[in-house]
Structure 1
Amino acid sequence: MKIGFYQYRPQFGRIKANLNKVLKKLEGIDADLIVLPELAFSGYYFSDRSEALSLAEDPGNSATVNALTELCSRNDFHLVTGFTERADDKVYNSALLIGPDGIEHIYRKLHLFNEEKFWFDAGDIPLSVQEVRGARIGIMVCFDWVFPEVARTLALQGADIICQPANLVLTYCQQTMLTRSLENRVFSVTCNRFGADKRPQGELKFTGRSQLVAPNGDRLESAPPQREALVIMDIDPAQAHEKHITKHNDVLADRRPEFYRTLIEH
């Protein structure tokens, strides 16, 4: 299976320009699954909730989604992309799984980072796994990395590959995702943006360094911190079916959930 990421620098508020950049870059690419950054077309650093709503789109009636679907159809691949989603009077930091026939799944970010709590509604769609060409795909978004329960839940649901659109400003995630892959024995694809959003309220700088990680925790590919990068590589998703970390230790089967009740009681 050919999977990868496209790391780039979205321009704040310029949805059409950002979309055209993606369409041009990915046209003709030989891949099965490509991950794009968080909030890939709107930009990230909103001044307030009303601005986020003004740049959000209903995925069921979106020129952006239509163009991405056509891209997937022409090139016979799937995308996981960050998306500023509007649903009536709510706005979500979402990720869409799009294939040649359109949207196959929507995930709404469960764990909002810092000022995102002022702009977005918290995600309300349960974690789940989707199938893409025989591989099982789980989705998380950026700050979800802080919560190991997210990756573990996806692994328990059978994920082979965890796709993570991101707009990372902290420096810990890329290293932590090596552990998330290892402790769950899954592939992970973190697609981060680079550059900065310079807004009236301040500036946020993003760290780049998108990566693809193997189930043994090895970093297979990594992008530079401040440069565009398109990476596609061959993997065997079946490697994620082997959950043994030693001959006698299976990272899922050896769990003792009867001793983890505090996780759901507090």
Structure 2
Amino acid sequence: MAGSEVTIGLIQAHHDVDGREPVAVHKQAAIEKHVCLIREAAAVGAKIVCLQELFYGPYFCTEQDPKWYEAAEPVPDGPTIRRMQELAKELQVVLVVPVYEEEMPGVYYNTAAVIDGDGRYLGKYRKHHIPQVQAGPAGCGFWEKYYFKPGNGGYPVFDTQYAKIGVYICYDRHFPEGARLLGLHGAELVLNPSATVAGLSEYLWKLEQPAHAVANGYYVGAINRVGWEAPWNMGEFYGQSYLVNPRGEFVALGSRDQDEVVLGVMDRRQIAEVRNTWQFYRDRRPETYTDMVGLLP
């Protein structure tokens, strides 16, 4: 296990390829771009690096087109995760890699693979909460139910070389229950790779996840892509990726519109200090919460 301080790298980027291009063109361009950004993050000291949601393409869920099923691949046995394992081992960084997972033909998940700093695949998180929301111009939206089954792997925490990390993907952040479970499972850092646009959720962007950090006594890294994506132009992906500490303070904050490695330092000592001050885990009353499970809509 590393020392008390760990540098976190959050990568936000614009997807440069028009959505009308073949899937293979998207994947090649995005992977090469992100490999360069991962190397940049490692060069400036990042030990845990997280990419944005569905990093190797556009946010294709803005339309409903079976073309995008071609983007899915097995996890961990697909080519993207294998390449990221080699890169993690070379750079000695932990990588959180959000991809489109094919479990079997016709069964797909929105997934993030977690790779340790020695290249070992530690496991994956599958997005639990799947939106189906109108947004932007007519016909555009977050049509994720067309592409993904809800996650079925629970809320795992991964004991990496540098910290115990959990993953929560995009829309999951609106649901405090899973955020609490990640804390109960031992997370010191929760990473939330996202794809979210101005005009819909921006007013929540800097509210919900600092609140999760405070309520659960851990760090949260929130990642959002940047720019507009053709041909849909559903809305501006407004970046502003950030790392927030257990006091709800912003440790690092990215720009609105630039490809960027957002760097921040997580201090494990602060987790202990905050939890010893605010004894939320001690004072929980789970026996009074039974109505949350199965009894209410």
* Structure 2 length-normalised TM: 0.83
1:185 Cα deviation from its structure 2 partner:
1.0
Percent identity, aligned pairs only, is: 26
Q: Which residue does the alignment assign to 2:140?
A: none
Contact 2:48 2:162 in 1 (8 A): no
Among candidates 228, 235, 239, match of residue 270 of structure 2: 239
Instruction: Quote the Cα distance in structure 2 between the aligned partners of 1:237 and 1:132.
Output: 14
The 3 A distance-change label for structure 1 pair 60 and 81 is closer
Confirm whether residue 33 of structure 1 aligns to residue 31 of structure 2. Answer: no
Among candidates 43, 53, 70, match of residue 86 of structure 2: 70
Among candidates 7, 10, 17, match of residue 5 of structure 1: 10
Q: Which amino acid aligns with 2:28?
A: K
1:31 Cα deviation from its structure 2 partner:
2.0
The 3 A distance-change label for structure 1 pair 4 and 60 is closer
1:49 Cα deviation from its structure 2 partner:
5.7
Contact 1:3 1:32 in 2 (8 A): yes
Contact 1:198 1:204 in 2 (8 A): no
Contact 1:137 1:160 in 2 (8 A): yes
1:61 aligned counterpart, secondary structure: coil
Among candidates 203, 208, 216, match of residue 184 of structure 1: 216
Contact 1:45 1:199 in 2 (8 A): no
User: Runs in 1 of length 4+ with deviation above 4 angstroms?
Assistant: none
Q: Which residue does the alignment assign to 2:138?
A: none
Matches within 5 A, 1:219-230: 219-230=250-261
* CA RMSD of superposed structures (Å): 1.8
Q: Which residue does the alignment assign to 2:131?
A: 113
2:195 aligned counterpart, secondary structure: coil
Moved more, 14-23 or 65-74: 65-74
Q: Which residue does the alignment assign to 1:209?
A: 240
Confirm whether residue 23 of structure 1 aligns to residue 28 of structure 2. Answer: no
Contact 2:188 2:271 in 1 (8 A): yes
Confirm whether residue 126 of structure 1 aligns to residue 158 of structure 2. Answer: no
Instruction: Quote the Cα distance in structure 1 between the aligned partners of 2:209 and 2:220.
Output: 7
Among candidates 61, 68, 73, match of residue 52 of structure 1: 68
Instruction: Quote the Cα distance in structure 2 between the aligned partners of 1:134 and 1:56.
Output: 29
Instruction: Quote the Cα distance in structure 2 between the aligned partners of 1:173 and 1:145.
Output: 9
Among candidates 150, 159, 166, match of residue 178 of structure 2: 150
2:28 aligned counterpart, secondary structure: helix
2:236 aligned counterpart, secondary structure: strand
Deviations 1:167-226 (A, max 9, x none): 1222113321111101111100011101123346x6243121100000111011111111
* Structure 1 length-normalised TM: 0.92
Deviations 1:44-67 (A, max 9, x none): 124326233111111233222122
1:239 Cα deviation from its structure 2 partner:
2.3
State how many pairs are aligned.
Answer: 263
Structure 2: 5+ residue runs without aligned partners? Answer: 1-5, 133-142
Instruction: Quote the Cα distance in structure 2 between the aligned partners of 1:118 and 1:107.
Output: 19
1:74 Cα deviation from its structure 2 partner:
1.1
Contact 1:49 1:119 in 2 (8 A): no
Among candidates 98, 104, 121, match of residue 122 of structure 2: 104
Q: Which has the higher strand share?
A: 1
1:103 Cα deviation from its structure 2 partner:
2.1
Instruction: Quote the Cα distance in structure 1 between the aligned partners of 2:260 and 2:267.
Output: 22
Contact 1:186 1:214 in 2 (8 A): yes
Instruction: Quote the Cα distance in structure 1 between the aligned partners of 2:225 and 2:13.
Output: 5
Contact 1:243 1:252 in 2 (8 A): no
Instruction: Quote the Cα distance in structure 2 between the aligned partners of 1:199 and 1:112.
Output: 23
